Chain A
Amino acid sequence: MTTTLVKMVSITKRFPGVTANSGINFELRPGEIHALLGENGAGKSTLMNILTGLYMPDEGEIYIRGARVKLTSPRDAIEAGIGMVHQHFRLVQTFSVAENVIMGSGDQGFFLNMQEVEDKLARFSGEYGINVMPGSKIWQLSVGEQQRVEIVKMLYRGTDIMILDEPTAVLTPQESRELFATLRRMADMGKGIIVISHKIQEVLENADRITVLRDGRYVDTFSGKDTDSRKLTMAMVDRDISYGQNISSKPKDDFILCLKGLTVLGDRGQKALKSLDLNLRKGEILGIAGVAGNGQKELAEVIAGLREEAAGEIEVRGERFTGRSARRMIDAGISLIPEDRLGTGLVGSLNILENSILKKYRSGDISTGWFISWKRVREYAHRLVEKFDVKTTGVEAPVRLLSGGNLQKLLLAREISNDPDVIVAVYPVRGLDVGAIEFVRNTLLRQRENGKGIILISEELEELFMLSDRVAVMHEGEIMGILDREEIDLERVGRMMAGEREEGSHERTAVR
């Protein structure tokens, strides 16, 4: 038996404007669980899409079981024994488990021999301890069970290089434990398993080796036994972080937004926020650090009135605002700069005029009675475009033709000109170029000077440390700790991001 199943050597993949992978090395041995660790956008998925034949690398070589291969299509990868469980399962909801398993495997003739398939599935459950009911329909199964079907599908095709993309993102802790037990048994049978993850703790507990990627580059490969969460955090996030300190004014003492014991359910009914306490003051930027997917999205949505509270209270300027609609929250002066500018924040097919009044169209400045005065809208939109220097071919052009930076400028212009008291900015610089990033950050700082309260959700620690008065670290829907500007320390933040709670650095509710 060869000692490596997969060897990827200096893989480079460029997309227009970005280099997603740059000279990445990766190696998978039979019998190991190998974690691929990195933040969003670190290049994990691109690398695995290359291994599964979805993308062709621009440079670099791939060896499977020692032989150099060229994977030009997913079919090539399947034939080479490579299989992947995507985050979004590729199952036909109305088909049975057995029907899904044989789909695309190509080993059945015109007539299906379901008995044979079921026998094979029974054998897998004996060998690997994966139980699936061949006759059940997919829609009847829980998410964890559906994931098992995906794994069985790979086993049925004889896959021995298995890739799982964020497999525990959809699972409960118990299901996650079961999953890793199964993966371990499969590894013991000589299969190689790659787990894409951004959860440090999970990776430490379960992986034999851990390869860390950052910004599309290879950082290092660690042995699971000889590393710890601190080392992994340091590898995942940028080391040289500047702690910019040129903010003069102090936040005021009065709270503008208070979250008390807030519990919120996520899209799959899991608790996305668990009894969370957080206070925001006037003239403060409160940074929210944490690996994406730990409740940040739900936090922003519940404040904006887009998601219901399961328990707890929201107070705006000391007044109870629990369970209010998005419209009431807008009227209460809360502005959300959403993660996806085009789609949520702006409507791509509508023009700048129409987008500029998305939240203002009800107000008397723009409309008289039932009617919208397009003349006034035009003046208003021109003011926004001029003041925020939005580069455009004209206010009547659909906004989807604008560049990312100009979209964000238009969005910020609209939100800020509504003069909100609270601004919740979710990944506001994601995907922007340097100039636009500068512009967004300066805009937020100016709003802080104007006495607004700003919640800044970001995945860039550098940005958070530079702009925030305080940084709260989220992990699995809870605040692990809150650090004041003077206390900010990469190692402490890193530990909290990995799920270590810091007692004593929590929200001292309203007793300042």
Chain B
Amino acid sequence: MSGLPLGRNRVITLEKRGGFSRGVALLVPVFSIVCAVIGGGLFLLAAGYDPVEIYLTMLSGVFGSAYGLSETVVKTIPLLLCGLAVSVAFRMQLWNIGAEGQLYMGAVAASWVALFHGEGSPVVVIALMLLAGAAAGALWGLIPAIPRALFKVNETITTLMLNYVAILFSDYLVYGPWKDPKGMNFPLSAVFPDSAILPHFGDTRIHLGLVFGLIAAVLLYIVLWHTKWGYEVRVIGESPVAARYAGMNIARNILLVMALSGGLAGIAGMAEVSGITQRLQPNLSSGYGYTAIIVAWLGRLNPFAIIGVSFLMAGLLVGGYNMQMSGLPAAIVSILQGAILFFILGGDILTKYRIRIKNTRGIEVAE
């Protein structure tokens, strides 16, 4: 009997739940957020801060001002695109940890268009940047997909490793050949021409990338649930044996899905350079490609749920900055963010499993 031993002849085990009602499914995340807030609050108290005040700072920072809200939306964009990217791959049990690198490659390719072919009609330039970003991300996703499809090389490691290659390649460009001669030796590329900058909503920093993300979510839903290809992807994800039996080409689908995944992350990179930084620079992404993994899981790989989750996650990031500005040490902010995630993920597990205490002979003692 596996499980955590608990005294003599007792173990704690996790057991898969059958179905549960819709109400419970909705209640659990709410309950976990409440737990997270209380847990985090106790921690803040112990560290000598007033939790109520801190939470208020956080909330007002995110929702209390137009600026805060717009910042949250700005951060939602890359999280949404990367979350969708990661979710397609995960759906086929391809553990693409490389969204970060795919984002950078997308940013690099889009920057190349902007810097060297950026003059002209904005529509054409932006469309080219979008294509280049998606293509570069797709290529970066394909590189680990090929050995995976042909020789079953573990993609978790290869995608992760390629992140470093992509980030360092982008750094090389801005420290070297693409460095702005007029930039006083800062590691920044030249600013993009106006025609290569995504339009913004009003005078906020929210850019057209939001529309890309929302369209991508809708398209992804349609592809997965209403096309033959999406059907293949779902069958392969649930049971590769059955897919093979049904005559589906698994290797081909691995390549296609990883290309799609990388392409979506590449678009996130394009949107970041074209909408936010408006030049290529180091530290483009604050780990969006990694946070996207959590986003995809919490959204249960559902494109529409991922929209909501990426907004919440963006709020958590922005709230964190606000707390730092009000004097809370960065480490405490990170701990608080971690605690909140911990509770949400914990609650997620409890909706799928129940905890049972069993004695070692397999007879149930208590729930």
A residues at B contact (CB < 8 Å)? 56, 72-73, 304-306, 325-331, 336, 338, 343-350, 354, 357-359, 361-362, 367, 370-372, 374
Set of chain B residues within 8 Å of A327, measured between Cβ atoms: 247-249
* B356 interfacial by beta-carbon distance below 8 Å: no
Q: A345, A347, A370 — which one has the most chain B CB atoms within 10 A of its CB?
A: A347
Within 8 A of A (CB), among B216-240: 226-229, 231-232, 234-235, 238-239
State whether B360 touches A326 (Cβ < 8 A). no
* B8 interfacial by beta-carbon distance below 8 Å: no
Contact of A346 among B227, B242, B248 (CB under 8 A): B242
State whether B229 touches A347 (Cβ < 8 A). no
Set of chain A residues within 8 Å of B246, measured between Cβ atoms: 326, 330, 358-359
Contact of B228 among A73, A345, A359, A371 (CB under 8 A): A371
A325 to B228, CA, bound (A): 19
The smallest beta-carbon distance between A175 and chain B, in angstroms, is 28
Contact of B245 among A326, A367, A372 (CB under 8 A): A326
* B182 interfacial by beta-carbon distance below 8 Å: no
Set of chain B residues within 8 Å of A347, measured between Cβ atoms: 235, 238-239, 242
The smallest beta-carbon distance between B260 and chain A, in angstroms, is 14
Set of chain B residues within 8 Å of A350, measured between Cβ atoms: 234-235, 238
* B352 interfacial by beta-carbon distance below 8 Å: no
A346 to B241, CA, bound (A): 10
| Given A304-B245, A325-B247, A361-B231, A374 and B226 contact (CB-CB distance below 8 Å) | yes
**Residues of B within 8 A of A (CB-CB), count:** 20
Sample of 10 more A-B contacts, CB < 8 Å, known A325-B249, A326-B246: A56-B361, A326-B245, A329-B247, A338-B245, A359-B247, A361-B232, A367-B228, A370-B228, A371-B227, A372-B226
| Given A338-B245, A358-B246, A343 and B226 contact (CB-CB distance below 8 Å) | no
B residues at A contact (CB < 8 Å)? 226-229, 231-232, 234-235, 238-239, 241-242, 244-249, 360-361
State whether A354 touches B231 (Cβ < 8 A). yes
A338 to B243, CA, bound (A): 13
Set of chain A residues within 8 Å of B244, measured between Cβ atoms: 306, 326
State whether A72 touches B245 (Cβ < 8 A). no
Set of chain B residues within 8 Å of A374, measured between Cβ atoms: 226
Set of chain A residues within 8 Å of B235, measured between Cβ atoms: 347, 350, 354, 358
Set of chain B residues within 8 Å of A372, measured between Cβ atoms: 226-228, 231
15 intermolecular pairs with C-beta atoms under 8 Å apart: A72-B361, A326-B244, A327-B248, A328-B247, A344-B245, A348-B239, A350-B234, A350-B235, A354-B234, A357-B231, A358-B246, A359-B246, A359-B247, A361-B228, A371-B227
Set of chain A residues within 8 Å of B249, measured between Cβ atoms: 325, 327
Contact of A362 among B226, B228, B245, B360 (CB under 8 A): B228
5 pairs of A and B residues whose beta carbons are closest in the complex: A327-B247, A326-B247, A358-B246, A347-B239, A370-B227
Chain A residue at minimum C-beta to C-beta distance from B226: A371
Set of chain B residues within 8 Å of A354, measured between Cβ atoms: 231, 234-235
Chain A residue at minimum C-beta to C-beta distance from B223: A370
The smallest beta-carbon distance between B360 and chain A, in angstroms, is 7
Set of chain A residues within 8 Å of B234, measured between Cβ atoms: 350, 354
Chain B residue at minimum C-beta to C-beta distance from A305: B247
A425 to B361, CA, bound (A): 39
Chain A residue at minimum C-beta to C-beta distance from B222: A371
Tell me the number of A-to-B contacts counted with CB atoms below 8 Å: 69
Set of chain A residues within 8 Å of B247, measured between Cβ atoms: 305, 325-331, 359
Set of chain A residues within 8 Å of B239, measured between Cβ atoms: 343-344, 347-348
Set of chain A residues within 8 Å of B229, measured between Cβ atoms: 370
Chain B residue at minimum C-beta to C-beta distance from A329: B247
| Given A347-B235, A350-B234, A372-B226, A73 and B245 contact (CB-CB distance below 8 Å) | no
Contact of A343 among B231, B232, B242, B361 (CB under 8 A): B242
The smallest beta-carbon distance between A260 and chain B, in angstroms, is 24
A221 to B239, CA, bound (A): 44
Q: A306, A331, A357, A361 — which one has the most chain B CB atoms within 10 A of its CB?
A: A361
The smallest beta-carbon distance between B230 and chain A, in angstroms, is 8
A325 to B252, CA, bound (A): 14
Set of chain B residues within 8 Å of A304, measured between Cβ atoms: 245
Set of chain A residues within 8 Å of B360, measured between Cβ atoms: 73
A63 to B234, CA, bound (A): 53
A344 to B241, CA, bound (A): 5
Set of chain A residues within 8 Å of B245, measured between Cβ atoms: 304, 306, 326, 336, 338, 344-345, 358
Q: B234, B239, B244, B247 — which one has the most chain A CB atoms within 10 A of its CB?
A: B247
A348 to B226, CA, bound (A): 20
The smallest beta-carbon distance between B307 and chain A, in angstroms, is 23
A343 to B235, CA, bound (A): 11
Set of chain A residues within 8 Å of B228, measured between Cβ atoms: 361-362, 367, 370-372
Set of chain A residues within 8 Å of B232, measured between Cβ atoms: 361
Set of chain A residues within 8 Å of B227, measured between Cβ atoms: 370-372
Set of chain A residues within 8 Å of B226, measured between Cβ atoms: 371-372, 374
Chain A residue at minimum C-beta to C-beta distance from B362: A56
A305 to B229, CA, bound (A): 21
Set of chain B residues within 8 Å of A359, measured between Cβ atoms: 246-247
A28 to B247, CA, bound (A): 50
Chain B residue at minimum C-beta to C-beta distance from A72: B361
The smallest beta-carbon distance between A301 and chain B, in angstroms, is 9
Set of chain B residues within 8 Å of A338, measured between Cβ atoms: 245
The smallest beta-carbon distance between B350 and chain A, in angstroms, is 20
A8 to B234, CA, bound (A): 50
The smallest beta-carbon distance between B225 and chain A, in angstroms, is 8
Q: B244, B246, B361 — which one has the most chain A CB atoms within 10 A of its CB?
A: B246
Chain A residue at minimum C-beta to C-beta distance from B241: A344
Q: A325, A358, A359 — which one has the most chain B CB atoms within 10 A of its CB?
A: A358
Q: B235, B238, B242, B361 — which one has the most chain A CB atoms within 10 A of its CB?
A: B242
The smallest beta-carbon distance between B141 and chain A, in angstroms, is 22
Chain B residue at minimum C-beta to C-beta distance from A331: B247
Set of chain B residues within 8 Å of A361, measured between Cβ atoms: 228, 231-232
A82 to B96, CA, bound (A): 46
Set of chain B residues within 8 Å of A343, measured between Cβ atoms: 239, 241-242
Chain A residue at minimum C-beta to C-beta distance from B1: A73
State whether A349 touches B242 (Cβ < 8 A). no
Chain A residue at minimum C-beta to C-beta distance from B235: A347
The smallest beta-carbon distance between A451 and chain B, in angstroms, is 24
